[in-house]
Every structure is written in structure tokens, then in C-alpha cells.
Structure 1
Amino acid sequence: MPPRMMLDVDEVDTENSVCMTWSIDPSGTMRHRKTGTKVSTKEGITFEGTEYRLSPEDIELEPDSHLGAGACGVVMKGVIKQSGIPVAVKTVKVDDQAKREQLINEIRGLVAADGCVNLVHWYAGFMSKRTMIVHVALEFMDLGSLADLKKRLGGYGVEPVYLSNITAQIMNGLDYLHKKKMLHRDIKPENILHNRQGEVKLTDFGIAKDLDQTLAMAGTFVGTVTYMSPERCLGQDYSFASDIWSVGMVIFELSTGRYPFADVTSFVVLFDHLCEQPEPRLDPEYFPAELVEFDAYCLTRDVSRRPDTEFLLAHPFVTYNVPTVEQLAEWLVSFSG
């Protein structure tokens, strides 16, 4: 077995950074004045008076273990040395004021999510290398995302019986967030993780990404924004119902093995699908009536008629003849290798 790596902890920049809401001292410790949040190399993260203490020396990284990458940086697999618990170590770039505020949102979201089995748990975070990078140690989900599940299925959809359990877990996590008055804003297959125990969990729910501004940037609409709701596409005010639409898009994709809209090659085409064409609908000849109805509820363009998480959690698709988590785990493991 190749030796594990330590997190790189080069000396931090000694240049002070001060603004109205943040200060960064020569040791690299960041302090948020309004909330009292502190992020440092040796003392981890302190948020609302509670310490989440880990340091770079507490974690070993597995070489060549990149789990993913995005605007925030890379995600690598590691182990907390003292406990042996595997973790996903996510890097969060905080090299400007806006990204530091996003970090506060992420920490707030992770703390608020504690206690819900369908939201990814976090252990702690800390400053590492230079003052512009923070590492956050998250629960490791060994089967990856639902995008990975879709790839493993090779173009086929998830069997409806197992999709009912997956959907129920997604909705339970989303219901928890909404009851905490938190929008996810970025529900897509890549942000829903699963493991060999049959657990399905939302992740990346803490960062308030400003996706609306990206619509004006050529070439950036493909990906995250393709799961957005029509009201967001129109630039209208949006709330919890926008997350419900995104769930409907994910369920459609998992059911059929394909993204709901064909040939989305430009924002103009995406706009036409979202705001002008009939909403996506599963074919009742091929899918159970309960699944077809549930997804149609989610993919209702009229926000006033789109139901909330509480209504959907009582729907027969996620309450009647739903397999157990253990049965879902057995199915997942049967073709995951």
C-alpha cells in the first residue's frame, strides 16, 4: 500500500488582511467579526461558541484519491488518524471577501444539518497552506454521487422500486433544510451522495451560490444551472419550491437514464425548455403511476401549484411498498463492484 500523504501546511502569508467583516492575522487565523467565527491551522473552526477542532496533522490523505473537483477546489479521500474514520477532504478557496462570506454560509449550513441522517455530516475544518485555502473534513460516502450511479447503470434508469427509497431519503434531507429555512439552491445528481449502507444524502447545501449571475457568462450555463427552476431562469423571486423543481429533474433523469431536455446547447434552448415548452413528463406506459404523478408534482411550472416537501413526503410513491434501506443497499452493492 502506498504511503498516505499529510496535508500540505506551508507557512501562511504574513500579509495582514483587514476588512469591515473579516480580519486575517500574520499567523493565518481568520476571524469573522459579526459571528465570532474563527478559522485557523491549529485550532480548527470555532462557530457560535462551539469548537470543531482538527488540524492538518490529524488527517492523512490517500495518494491519487481525488473524488472530484469544482469551483471550490478539489475533494480528496483521507482518514482521521486517531479514529480511523474515512473522510472526504474538501478545499474551499477564500481568496476574496465574497468567498469568505460563502464559507460562513457553508459552515452555518453544516452545523444546522447536524442531526439529519440524509444530509452529509461534517467533522471540522481548518486553515491550511496559505490564508486563502480552508479544508473541510466531511463524511465519506463510498459509492459517490447519483451521477456515478447513473454511469454505473450504463444508460438504464434506476428501478422504480429502489428509486422510491432514494427519493424518500432525498426528500427527507430537503424537508429538514427547508424547516431550517435553508434553500439548497444546487440540487443535481452530483450533489446527492450514496453509500454501501443504502444511505442517500444531500451535500453542498451550505453554500449560497449566486447562480443567477452566471447566466450572463457565455459557456457557464451548462451544468449546475440546467437543473434550475423556471422562476429562477426568468429572474423572478424564488423560494423553497425552486428546490422541488430540481428534485423533479433529478428523479426524471434517474428514471430514464437521461437528462430531461434534449440538445441543450445554449441558454436560449434551455430557456425555451424551462419556460415555453411543456414540462417534462414520464411516460405512464413505462413507469408506475405513483412515480409519474410524484415527478409531475415536482415539475410543475406554476409555483403556486408546486407542492412542498411535507406534501411530497406523504405521497404514495415514497410511503407505500418502499424497500428498506438495507434492501436498497443490497441492490446498490450488487452492481457496484
Structure 2
Amino acid sequence: MNEMNLVAGKYCLEKQIGTGAHGEVYQAVQLKDKNRVAVKIFYRHLHQDILQYILKELKVISSLSHPHILKVQAFGRGRFRDEMVHYLVTPLMENSNVSELLKKGKLEMPQAIKIATQIAQALDYMHENKFIHRDVKPSNILLDREKDAVLADFGIACDVDRTQTMAAGTIEYCAPEQMENSPGKKPNPQWDIYGLGITLYEMLTAINPYRIVANQQGQAAAIQKKYEGRYPSVTEYDGLIPYSLSLVIQKMISPQARYASMKEVLSELRLYDIGNEPSSVNFTKTEEIKLPENVNLLFQKAAFFSKQKLWKKALLKYNEILAKEPACYQAYSNKGDIYLQKKMYQDALANFNLALQYRPESYNALCQRGYTYLSMEDFVPALKDMEKAISLHPQRPQALFYRALLHKKLCEIYLKQNHKDLYCQENEQMKKYLDLYQKVKLSNRREDNV
């Protein structure tokens, strides 16, 4: 063991994995239990006042406990390479950070929303405990082994009641009012909302709007744009991003009309954290059917092929089933699911119609036919199927989920048409059914655990 790599006699540094404004971060082994950890060595040249501020805030933040906040395992002062240094120990995150991900290009919308939602939960928890992060940005969002997001780097975090003596933050991500040196100004949770908004913008487009303006027109123009809130909509970079989501991001980074709290942001983001494809929704259990053993074996083979996305082979097996059992509604319903995933909507409808002909109260077939109509933007029959499914089984979540999606789609349409009253009505309905879906899903999970 190289003693030059020992910190406080407790941690053996293996390699440098990062650097920041206040120090360098290393992958290390904790000698006591041989676990790998991350060790931050604070720069020796840091002004004593800054160092004492950081250590004081770390002492308080170490008492916070949240699954999406990087845990402070230890901090203190010890010997490193014949000098005394201050250090911080945290768990080692094995999947780098969002900034590294963005070097490969923009993130898929579900992943971006998942990360933003998890960080919003962490920030909401911090705000409830009277702390502001002040430096929310991609490089401060780490990813653990399961690729869940963890908020890190609390070097400039502060108490909401502490008067700000100087501007702090990273200019590309900090709110315009956060940059001002105003005597007596107190930190505001809305600063973190702005930083998360710019981070979400960047995750969806791989573009930092401030940086683009600064590179093309200079820093002065970039700062002016920041104060005006005049950045291109994310939909200009990717037309597949829902228009309503672009409005959420615009409100997060608005200089004047920003969300008042992180709870408001969470209530908006969760509407986009529910997926958009029926293949991602696996709420319903297969409806009980009694069939001959040889037919059940064909179902098992068809299910295997479907799981492997070998659609043609799966369809052949369902056709074999129907040759033996012409009135097997489940085979028609499953064929409809395949055509729906392939976006062959007319074929999907034909099979769901046959399934419902043989079993008019099939919950699965009603849900999936309703979703097919929704995908075709045929809202009246979509709503009719979803209402019937909900009336049949109010304690099953799938129809509630699809009903929320239907109102979400109508919200987007009315926003584009500038029908504010209709948008508000659909928005209320969307929130209503999303709340019902989440309550039912939670209730079902509790029952499964009993």
C-alpha cells in the first residue's frame, strides 16, 4: 500500500474521478471494511472563511436523509501527503453523472423525466428542511447502480434564513436574481427550480440555452436573455416533446412567473412520468380462462414469443389457438395488443372488437381498445371504453391510467389552440384521474404485500 495515497489513515485513494471549485474527488477504499467510497479532498488554498462555511453547512446537511440525496458518511481533517487537509467521504456512485451522459447526446424523455422527478423530490425535501442547494446542474446529479438519480455537491448549499453576502452558483444554471449581489437578500427555493428547469431542458435537447447564446453573441447577450427568459422552446429542437411539457419547463425558468414551490413542479412532472406506450404498462393480470391443456401450451409459447418481440411467431400461435377454439376472446385480445404495439391500429381494433363480441365485459380488451382509439385521436369512443372499464372494475388502475392520458392529450390540443377554459377543464380531469390511478396502484401494492 502506497502511504502517499492514504487519507487520515482510513482511506486509500485509487484514482481521481472528478474535480470541482472546492476540491478533487477520488475513488478510494475504506480500510476498515474494504468498501469503495468517494473521497473529496478540499483544496489547501481555499480561504479559511469559505472552508469553515462549507464545513458548517456539511454538518447540518449530514443530518438529512433522503434516497435521492448523496449521503455524507464522514468529514473531517486528517493527514494526506505530509499535510493536514479537510476531506469529505460519500458513497461511490458507479454510473457517473448526467453531464457525462449528455456528452453522448440527449436523453430519452422517460429517463429525463425520471431523473428530474427524483431530483425534484430531493430538493422538495431539502426545502422543507430549510435548505437551498443553489447549484443544481447535470454534473451534480449522480447515478447509482440502478441508474437512479442522486443530488450531490452541497458546497454552496445554505440555510433559507441565512442572508446571502455574495452571488453563488454556476452561471449557466443559476436564476437571474441569484446572480445579483444585493445586501440582505435571502436565498429562495425558486433558485433551485430554475436550475432544475435548465437541467431538464438540457437533458431533453443536449443543449444549454445560456451557453449557446454566450458562444454566439457573447456573455452580455446571454445574461440579457436570462433576465428576459427568452430561450427557444424545447419543442423547436425535438417536435416529439409534448407541447405542454415545454410550457412546464418555460415556467420553471421564467424570471417573473416561476413556480412558487418544488411541490408544484412535482405535481406537473409526475404527469409525464407515467409512460406513453401500452407496452410499458403491465397493471392487469391475465383474465382467468379455462382451456384445454394443449391450447394453454400454445398460449405459453405465444407469450414467450411476444416477450421476445417475435411478433410474427406470436401471431401464428394465436391463430393456431383460434383454429382450435374460435371463440377464444383472450387470443383476439392478445393479437390486438401486438398490432397496437406495432401501431397497426385498424388491425388492433378488429381484434379487440372480436374479443368484445365474445366477451363484452373483458376489462383488458376495453382498456386496450380505448387506448387504440386514443392513439388515433378518436376521443369519443376512447372515452366510452375507458368509462365502461372503470365502471366494471374501479379498483383496477389501467383504465384510470389511460383516462389520465386522454385528458393529457386534450390539454396539449387545447393549449395549441389557445382554448384556456377548455385546457383548464381537461387539466383538472387529468389530475383527478392521475390521483385515482396512483391511489389504486398504491392500494393494490399494499394488498400484494399482505
TM-score (norm 1): 0.69
In structure 2, C-alpha distance between the alignment counterparts of 1:182 and 1:84, rounded to whole Å: 33
C-alpha deviation, 1:150, in angstroms: 0.7
Which protein has greater RCO, CA pairs closer than 8 Å, 6+ apart?
1
In the alignment, which residue of structure 1 is the partner of 2:393? none
In the alignment, which residue of structure 1 is the partner of 2:88? 136
Matching residue within 190, 208, 215 for 1:241: 190
Q: Give the SS at the match of 2:73.
A: strand
Q: CA separation of 1:82/1:169 partners in 2, compared to 1, >3 Å: closer, same or farther?
A: same
Question: Is 1:68 aligned with 2:14?
Answer: no
Q: Which has the higher helix share?
A: 2
Q: Deviations over 1:189-214 (max 9, x none)?
A: 11111123122111112534889557
* Residues 70, 152 of structure 2: 8 Å contact kept: yes
In structure 1, C-alpha distance between the alignment counterparts of 2:51 and 2:173, rounded to whole Å: 26
In structure 1, C-alpha distance between the alignment counterparts of 2:219 and 2:56, rounded to whole Å: 28
Q: Give the SS at the match of 2:172.
A: helix
Amino acid at match of 1:269: A
Q: CA separation of 1:6/1:294 partners in 2, compared to 1, >3 Å: closer, same or farther?
A: farther
Q: Give the SS at the match of 1:186.
A: coil
In structure 2, C-alpha distance between the alignment counterparts of 1:301 and 1:159, rounded to whole Å: 27
Matching residue within 90, 96, 99 for 2:40: 90
Matching residue within 227, 233, 258 for 2:207: 258
In structure 1, C-alpha distance between the alignment counterparts of 2:194 and 2:204, rounded to whole Å: 15
Q: CA separation of 1:202/1:275 partners in 2, compared to 1, >3 Å: closer, same or farther?
A: same
Question: Is 1:307 aligned with 2:260?
Answer: yes
Question: Is 1:191 aligned with 2:140?
Answer: yes
In the alignment, which residue of structure 2 is the partner of 1:122? 72
Amino acid at match of 1:168: T
TM-score (norm 2): 0.53
In structure 2, C-alpha distance between the alignment counterparts of 1:142 and 1:316, rounded to whole Å: 26
In structure 1, C-alpha distance between the alignment counterparts of 2:128 and 2:275, rounded to whole Å: 24
Q: CA separation of 1:226/1:211 partners in 2, compared to 1, >3 Å: closer, same or farther?
A: farther
In the alignment, which residue of structure 2 is the partner of 1:48? none
Q: CA separation of 1:169/1:320 partners in 2, compared to 1, >3 Å: closer, same or farther?
A: closer
Q: Deviations over 1:218-269 (max 9, x none)?
A: xxxxx92221112123445451101101111111011001111314144312
C-alpha deviation, 1:7, in angstroms: 3.9
Deviates further, 228-237 or 174-183: 228-237
In structure 2, C-alpha distance between the alignment counterparts of 1:290 and 1:5, rounded to whole Å: 57
In the alignment, which residue of structure 1 is the partner of 2:241? 287
In structure 1, C-alpha distance between the alignment counterparts of 2:165 and 2:138, rounded to whole Å: 17
* Residues 6, 59 of structure 1: 8 Å contact kept: no
In structure 1, C-alpha distance between the alignment counterparts of 2:256 and 2:84, rounded to whole Å: 42
Question: Is 1:271 aligned with 2:217?
Answer: no
Q: Give the SS at the match of 2:235.
A: coil
Q: CA separation of 1:278/1:302 partners in 2, compared to 1, >3 Å: closer, same or farther?
A: same
In structure 2, C-alpha distance between the alignment counterparts of 1:211 and 1:250, rounded to whole Å: 26
Q: CA separation of 1:251/1:316 partners in 2, compared to 1, >3 Å: closer, same or farther?
A: closer
Cα RMSD (Å): 2.8
* Residues 226, 270 of structure 1: 8 Å contact kept: no
Question: Is 1:226 aligned with 2:172?
Answer: yes
In structure 1, C-alpha distance between the alignment counterparts of 2:131 and 2:63, rounded to whole Å: 9
* Residues 113, 269 of structure 2: 8 Å contact kept: no
In the alignment, which residue of structure 1 is the partner of 2:97? 145
C-alpha deviation, 1:132, in angstroms: 5.6
Unaligned runs of 5+ in 1: 10-55, 215-222, 328-337
In structure 2, C-alpha distance between the alignment counterparts of 1:290 and 1:91, rounded to whole Å: 44
* Residues 150, 257 of structure 1: 8 Å contact kept: yes
Q: Number of aligned pairs?
A: 261
Identity of aligned residues (%): 24
In structure 2, C-alpha distance between the alignment counterparts of 1:288 and 1:144, rounded to whole Å: 28
User: Which has the larger Rg?
Assistant: 2
